[in-house]
Amino acid sequence: MTFTEIPLGGAAIITLNPIRDERGFFARTFCAATMRKHGRIDTFPQANHSMSVGTGTIRGLHYQTPPAAEAKLVRCLRGEVYDVMVDMRKGSDTFLQWFGCTLSEGDFTVVYVPPGFAHGYQSLADGAEVIYQSSAEYTPHLEGRIRYDEPRVGIRWPVNTPILSPKDATTPWLAADFEGVVL
């Protein structure tokens, strides 16, 4: 596993190192000791698997507040997605800045999303599938959301005609006095 830091503090791209032979490949997708060595959360009690039927589907942008603030490990298993995270941490040097990257089946890339970040992705192929591990169980009353088109963030999504859930479509704009999530 190779860790590459990205411009948002604490976030990283993790490249898996598959071992290939005539039978196929083997790749370690998670190692608690390696996560600790790189200063990352190493306990993930919940795993999720989602499939988006149509190209352009956006899932997110969601986060959880303490005491259920969560880190995520995100990987695309089928198709392709544009994965996005937004720094929501109060007082962070990169507050409300975003980072996006494409994840594709077979690319052996995992995104590490730290606590205090909103996360979402847009499907770039019909039937795109994503798995992600969460360091906290889903806690609905501690969930926060930001709109995919929040003007204070300015994400440039690849597909201009998004498909949204009713919950994400009705997410309000960030309040003018929003100062971030306190961890």
State the Cα–Cα distance between residues 67 and 141, nearest whole angstrom.
11
**Within a domain: residue 175?**
no
Q: What is the pLDDT of residue 11?
A: 98
- Give me the domain span that covers residue 127: 2-169
**CATH code of residue 24:** 2.60.120.10
Q: What is the pLDDT of residue 44?
A: 97
SS3 label, residue 125 = coil
Q: Give me the mean pLDDT over the 9-13 stretch.
A: 97
**Within a domain: residue 146?**
yes
Kindly state the percentage of the chain with pLDDT values over 90.
Answer: 100
**Within a domain: residue 176?**
no
Exposed, middle or buried: residue 134 (CB in 10 Å: 0-12, 13-18, 19+)?
buried
Residue 148 annotated as catalytic: no
Q: What is the pLDDT of residues 130-178, one digit of tens each?
A: 999 999 999 999 999 999 999 999 999 999 999 999 999 999 999 999 9
Mean of per-residue pLDDT scores for the chain: 97
Tell me if 27 sits within 8 A of 16, measured CB to CB. Answer: yes
Instruction: Provide the sign of the torsion angle of the four alpha carbons 8, 84, 111, 177, taken in this order.
Output: positive
82, 112, 132, 148: the active-site residue: 132
**Within a domain: residue 125?**
yes
**Within a domain: residue 174?**
no
62, 63, 112, 121: the active-site residue: 62
**Within a domain: residue 90?**
yes
Q: Give me the mean pLDDT over the 103-109 stretch.
A: 96
Residue 141 annotated as catalytic: no
SS3 label, residue 166 = helix
Q: What is the pLDDT of residues 73-93, one digit of tens each?
A: 999 999 999 999 999 999 999
Q: What is the pLDDT of residue 6?
A: 97
**Within a domain: residue 179?**
no
What is the band of 4 on the pLDDT scale with cuts at 50, 70, 90?
A: very high
Q: How many domains does the chain have?
A: 1
**Within a domain: residue 183?**
no
